[in-house]
């Protein structure tokens, strides 16, 4: 029998009252006196208070990203933070964020006379944290679900039965399965983040564990070109909204109605 | 049908075999063996009373897991109202630094293999 | 009643031992897969379902096809099927059991399978499929047990079983429809997103299932003294013929829509299936074999004179079964994943352990069907002797 969380808290007495966590900071917003400086979005707020948003989204500025040809800092940082294993056999591969050829990422948009540097470019792709995620709809155990408060498509590795229906349902190929025990294939295990077991599906979770302690997603932090911008779409003052208003942006497979929340400035 | 004797003999042999681990330990003089667990030094108390933790730590951990993973709540308060993070590796192993001599020793004795460690990592093991 | 399965001749026991050995080998490889992970299969990040799910899909059809004997017998009082209805129901039990085992061996975390019930998710077709399949297994087991034990006592089956038998008819349709919905609603897989998938599943099921039943009846006639007679076999042959024609028709509909519209995302899948893409041609020979077998079987089935010859009928039945096994199993499942959503072609072919585990599951099904048929024939023989 699981104990009731409320009971647990009650049992600890009313002393808890004084300890209710401080009001969360609204990232890039002006709703709080602890407002974060909007001019340097890539530097994480370091006070440790959770970053809270109503609809997280990310903008990939390909103009800046493609400038750093062959750079994979975002991939390396993400995979290091999350104990993502490296397999030599592509069949067993696991990736949370990776660089996909432009034609693969946007293959309904490509044509052979595209600008040369775009045609042969590789663009960062990851879970799109769709507004209507097809993976969530098909999961038979709610092991993957969309978090109501901020729209992150989450994964519960304790609950996943490994049926891989979500992988069949994802139109972006953003999900990976642990075909083998990942531990022996992780270069350097960070004990602050769990590894996974064989037999479960995993993917990017917008670094929910870092947002909870006031840090930006690790790919955003690692990008030296500052090409990745993370923020709250519901906040009219956020940098992501400003970028969307200023630039023409595209999304992957918009026609499917999944409403991806990763936007690309071409 | 007069196999009564045979059946009784069979049952006795079966019970003797099933209870073999018990006889074996008695014979070895290990019948009253209790694993000695290493308790953290310099720390007065756990997040809940010791008796409660002995009996219910697995439920508490399940509950913590659901709070953190499903509800996105990471902090709770302990028996004295101090705020603690609901984290196996940071909070529990933060005090019980010797997983081998605490968690494993008791679980091994009871023949329990919790699946926590399939994913969660003892910081000492990776160093 | 069950004790009937314990008395048999050498052939019977030899067959069971052989099946037991295959199950043993399958279990050995499953334990390996269990400890090493699904990495020992040919599945990959791009082709996430393969041989196991293909068998599952195909066998749901075989299970559903029991309705093709149950419906004429109970709804239209077609007496000639009286002798084989129980065979159809027992075949359904064996097939659903295999379906469940194939799902089980495909799971990454099989011991968490109860999570499907602990955290029910009505938005997932898999949730409904679980309910549909277990319900169908229950219904068939109940109906078969009740009608057979009534037969043994030489009394009419109790009245209350009739509504359950009637319920089994729409339920059979539902298992294959819901199984088609597993695939047909996925925006990520244009190849499966077709409204004729469920009708096509049913048509192919009503061809493959009766074809198998014909083969089993012919086999029983040869191996035991149990002869179902000419009429039911000919009727089953007619059912198979119609269903196969409808199936081929539906496949042609798919081809027209896919190819004439010429949308690259649709065409590329058909291209991979029948032509291969670049050097990736694993499926191509299989798909052509399926087509040839389909045409070949239709020629034999459509000519009444040929169809009435039991040798020809047996060959035609094998051809129907194999053709659909390829088309609906490997063809349908693998092609859905190739090319992947990024347009890249990553091929899949089953590995040796995967094939062994699959054979093991089939052996479990064969064992179950053998034992159940043994019981049914035992009851019948007892009645004749009295």
Angle between helices C197-223 and C67-75 (to 10 degrees): 80
C-alpha torsion C267→C273→C274→C276, nearest 10: 90
The verdict on a CB contact (< 8 Å) between A14 and B81 is yes
Name C198's bridge partners: none
Residues 200-219 of A with CB under 8 A from B: 208, 212
CB pair distance less than 8 Å for A179 and C112: no
Q: Is B112 exposed, middle or buried (0-12, 13-18, 19+ CB in 10 A)?
A: exposed
| pLDDT averaged per 10 residues, chain C (length 386) | 81 95 98 96 96 97 92 89 91 96 96 94 95 95 92 90 93 95 95 96 96 95 88 94 97 95 93 95 96 96 93 96 94 95 95 97 97 90 72
Cβ-Cβ contacts under 8 Å for C116 (sequence gap 6 or more): A140, A141, A161, C126, C127, C130
From C91, C58, C54, C87, select the one nearest C73 (Cα to Cα): C87
- Cβ A200 vs Cβ C108: under 8 Å: yes
The pLDDT value given to residue C179: 96
Q: Smallest CA–CA separation between A32 and chain B, in Å? A: 21
Whether the pLDDT of residue A132 is over 60: the answer is yes
pLDDT of residue C367: 97
State the pLDDT at residue B33: 84
- Over residues B3-28, the pLDDT tens digits come to 889 999 999 999 999 999 888 888 88
Q: Return the pLDDT at C260.
A: 96
For C188, which of A170, A200, A201 is closest by C-beta distance?
A: A170
Give how far the C-alpha of residue C311 lies from the chain's centroid of Cα atoms, to the nearest Å: 23
Residues in chain A with CB shorter than 8 Å from the CB of B60 are 3, 8
Strands (E) located in A170-256: 176-177, 201-202, 228-232, 249-250
pLDDT tens string A47-84:
678 999 999 999 999 999 998 888 999 999 999 999 99
List of residues 6+ apart from A24 with CB closer than 8 A: A49, A50, A51, A52
Q: Which chains touch A (3 or more CB pairs under 8 A)?
A: B, C
Strands A56-61 and A262-265: parallel
Residue appearing with tokens 């074999």: C289
Q: Are C273 and C335 in contact (CB under 8 A)?
A: yes
- CA gap C67, C63 in Å, rounded: 9
Residues 24-83 of B with CB under 8 A from A: 48, 56, 59-60, 62-63, 65-67, 69-70, 72, 74-83
pLDDT of the residue at C386: 61
CA atoms within 13 A on the CB side of C242: 8
Q: Cα–Cα distances in Å, from C360 out to A72, C34, C105, C239? A: 45, 15, 11, 30
Task: Give the C-alpha separation, A128 to A130, whole Å.
Answer: 5
Cβ neighbours for C233, distance < 8 A, ≥ 6 positions apart: C214, C217, C218, C310, C313
pLDDT at position A92, please? 95
Distance from CA of A111 to the nearest CA of B (A): 43
Tell me how crowded residue A234 is: count the other CB atoms within 10 A of its CB: 15
Least confident of A13-17, B8-12, B33-37, C73-77: A13-17
* Token output for A94: 């696991």
* Residues near C86 by beta carbon (within 8 Å), at least 6 away in sequence: C144, C147, C148, C376
Residue C65 near residue C211 (C-beta atoms within 8 A): no
The set of residues, in sequence order, having a beta carbon less than 8 Å from that of B3 and lying 6+ positions away, is: none
Which one of A11, A188, A190 has the shortest CB-CB distance to B79? A11
Phi, then psi, of C280 in degrees rounded to 5: -90, 95
Cβ neighbour number for residue C21 with a 10 Å cutoff: 11
In degrees, rounded to 5, the angle at the alpha carbon of residue A187 between the alpha carbons of residues C107 and A194 is 50
CA distance C323 to C372: 27
Q: CA C94, CA C66: separation in Å to the nearest integer?
A: 11
Q: CA nearest A161: which of C113, C102, B114?
A: C113
Assign B127 a pLDDT band (cuts: 50, 70, 90).
low
- Looking at residue B26, its pLDDT comes to 87
Chain B nearest-CA distance from A196, in A, is 5
**pLDDT computed for residue C18 by the predictor:** 97
Which of these, B116, B95, B113, B108, lies nearest to B42 by C-alpha position?
B95
Which token pair is C249? 């028709």
Quote the percentage of chain B above a pLDDT of 90: 62
Contact assessment for residue C108 and residue A160, using Cβ atoms and an 8 Å cutoff: yes
B99/A contact by beta carbon, under 8 A: no
Q: Where are the alpha helices (DSSP H) in C185-263?
A: 197-223, 230-261
CA distance B73 to B85: 9
* Distance in angstroms (rounded) separating the CA atoms of residues B80 and A71: 50
Q: Which of B46, B83, B87, B44 lies closest to B65, judged by CA?
A: B87
How far is C308 from A45, CA to CA, in rounded Å?
Answer: 82
DSSP state of C277: B
Confidence of residue A32 (pLDDT cuts 50, 70, 90): very low
**Is 60 exceeded by the pLDDT of residue B79?**
yes
Determine the pLDDT at residue A15.
Answer: 36
Torsion sign (Cα): C301, C306, C311, C312: negative
Q: Which of B93, B118, B120 would you mutate first to test chain A, the one with the most A CBs within 10 A?
A: B118
Three-class SS of residue A106? coil
Tell whether the model's pLDDT for residue A23 goes beyond 60. no
User: Taking CB atoms and an 8 Å cutoff, what residues of chain A touch B81?
Assistant: 12-16, 18-19
Tokens of A51: 């970053």
Q: How confident is the model at residue A118 (pLDDT cuts 50, 70, 90)?
A: confident
Give CB contacts under 8 A, 24+ apart, made by C110-115. Answer: C110/A161, C110/C34, C112/A141, C112/A159, C112/A160, C112/A161, C112/A162, C113/A161, C115/A140, C115/A141, C115/A143, C115/A159, C115/A161
Locate C11 and state its tokens: 């052939």
Which pLDDT belongs to residue A27? 41
The per-residue pLDDT for range A83-100, each reduced to its tens digit, is: 999 999 999 999 999 999
- A13: alpha, beta or left? (left if phi > 0; alpha if psi -120 to 50): left
C110 secondary structure, DSSP code: G
pLDDT, mean of residues A129-143: 97
pLDDT at A20: 35
CA distance C362 to C370: 12
Classify residue A131 by burial, with Cβ atoms within 10 Å: 0-12, 13-18, 19+: middle
Instruction: Report d(CA B49, CA B37) in Å as an integer.
Output: 17
Q: Which residues of B touch A160 (CB under 8 A)?
A: none
Is the Cα torsion angle B95, B97, B98, B99 positive or negative in sign? positive
Among the ranges given (A12-26, A245-259, C136-150), the one the predictor scored with the smallest mean pLDDT: A12-26
Does B13 contact A at CB distance below 8 Å?
Answer: no
pTM over 0.85: yes
Q: Which chains touch B (3 or more CB pairs under 8 A)?
A: A
φ, ψ of residue C213 to 5 degrees: the values are: -65, -40
DSSP element (H, E) containing C169: helix C161-184
CA distance B100 to B104: 5
**How much is the average pLDDT of B75-79?**
91
Residues 6+ apart with CB under 8 A from C6: none
d(CA A102, CA A108): 10
pLDDT of residue A28: 41
> Shortest Cα distance from A39 to chain C (angstroms)?
36
């Amino acid at each position: 029998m699981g104990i009731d969380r409320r009971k647990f808290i009650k049992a600890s007495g009313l002393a808890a009252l004084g300890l209710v966590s401080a009001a969360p900071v609204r990232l890039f917003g002006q709703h709080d006196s602890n407002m974060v400086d909007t001019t340097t979005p890539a530097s994480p707020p370091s006070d440790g208070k959770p970053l809270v948003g109503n609809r997280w989204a990310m903008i990939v500025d390909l103009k800046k990203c493609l400038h750093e040809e062959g750079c994979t800092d975002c991939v390396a940082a993400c995979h290091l933070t999350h104990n993502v294993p490296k397999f030599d056999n592509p069949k067993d591969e696991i990736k949370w964020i990776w660089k996909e050829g432009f034609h693969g990422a946007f293959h309904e948009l490509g044509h052979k006379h595209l600008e040369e540097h775009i045609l042969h470019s590789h663009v960062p792709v990851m879970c799109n944290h769709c507004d209507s995620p097809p993976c969530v709809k098909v999961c038979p155990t709610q092991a993957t679900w969309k978090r109501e408060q901020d729209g992150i498509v989450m994964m519960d590795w304790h609950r996943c039965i490994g049926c891989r229906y979500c992988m069949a349902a994802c139109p972006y190929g953003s999900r990976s399965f642990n075909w083998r025990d990942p531990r022996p294939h992780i270069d350097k295990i960070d004990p602050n983040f769990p590894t996974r077991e064989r037999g479960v599906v995993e993917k990017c979770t917008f670094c929910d564990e870092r947002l909870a302690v006031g840090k930006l997603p690790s790919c955003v932090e690692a990008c030296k070109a500052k090409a990745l911008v993370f923020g709250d779409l519901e906040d009219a003052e956020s940098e992501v909204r400003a970028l969307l208003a200023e630039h023409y942006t595209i999304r992957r497979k918009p026609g499917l109605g999944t409403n991806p929340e990763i936007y690309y400035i071409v | 049908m007069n196999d009564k004797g045979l059946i009784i003999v069979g049952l006795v042999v079966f019970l003797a075999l099933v209870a073999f681990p018990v006889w074996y330990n008695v014979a070895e003089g290990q019948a009253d063996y209790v694993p000695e667990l290493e308790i953290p030094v310099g720390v007065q108390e756990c997040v809940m009373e010791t008796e409660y933790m002995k009996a219910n730590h697995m439920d508490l951990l399940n509950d913590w897991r659901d709070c953190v993973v499903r509800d996105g709540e990471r902090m709770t308060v302990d028996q004295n109202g101090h705020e603690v993070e609901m984290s196996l590796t940071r909070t529990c192993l933060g005090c019980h630094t010797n997983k081998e001599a605490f968690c494993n020793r008791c679980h091994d004795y009871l023949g329990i293999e919790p699946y926590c460690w399939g994913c969660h990592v003892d910081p000492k093991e990776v160093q | 009643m069950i004790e009937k399965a314990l008395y048999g001749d050498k052939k019977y026991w030899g067959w069971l031992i052989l099946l037991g050995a295959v199950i043993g080998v399958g279990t050995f490889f499953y334990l390996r897969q269990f400890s090493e992970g699904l990495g020992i299969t040919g599945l990959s990040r791009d082709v996430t379902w393969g041989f196991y799910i293909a068998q599952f899909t195909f066998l749901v059809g075989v299970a559903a096809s029991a309705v093709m004997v149950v419906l004429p017998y109970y709804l239209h009082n077609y007496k000639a099927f009286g002798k084989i209805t129980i065979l159809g129901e027992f075949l359904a039990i064996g097939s659903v059991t295999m379906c469940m085992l194939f799902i089980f061996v495909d799971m990454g975390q099989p011991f968490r399978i109860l999570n499907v019930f602990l955290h029910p998710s009505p938005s997932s077709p898999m949730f409904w499929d679980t309910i549909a399949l277990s319900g169908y297994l229950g219904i068939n087991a109940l109906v078969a047990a009740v009608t057979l034990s009534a037969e043994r006592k030489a009394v009419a089956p109790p009245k209350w079983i009739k509504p359950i038998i009637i319920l089994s008819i729409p339920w059979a349709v539902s298992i294959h429809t819901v199984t088609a919905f597993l695939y047909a609603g996925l925006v990520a897989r244009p190849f499966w997103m077709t409204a004729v998938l469920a009708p096509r599943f049913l048509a192919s099921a009503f061809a493959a299932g009766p074809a198998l039943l014909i083969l089993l009846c012919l086999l029983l006639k040869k191996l035991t003294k149990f002869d179902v007679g000419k009429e039911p076999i000919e009727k089953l042959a007619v059912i198979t013929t119609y269903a196969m024609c409808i199936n081929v028709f539906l496949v042609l509909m798919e081809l027209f829509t896919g190819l004439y519209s010429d949308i690259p995302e649709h065409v590329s899948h058909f291209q991979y299936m029948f032509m291969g893409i670049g050097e990736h041609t694993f499926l191509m020979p299989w798909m052509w074999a399926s087509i040839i077998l389909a045409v070949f079987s239709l020629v034999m089935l459509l000519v009444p004179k040929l169809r009435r010859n039991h040798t020809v009928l047996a060959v035609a039945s094998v051809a129907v079964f194999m053709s659909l096994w390829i088309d609906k199993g490997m063809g349908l499942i693998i092609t859905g994943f190739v090319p992947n959503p990024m347009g890249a072609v990553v091929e899949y072919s089953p590995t040796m352990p995967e094939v062994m585990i699959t054979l093991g599951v089939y052996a479990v099904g064969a064992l179950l069907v053998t034992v159940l048929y043994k019981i049914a024939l035992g009851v019948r023989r007892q009645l004749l002797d009295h």
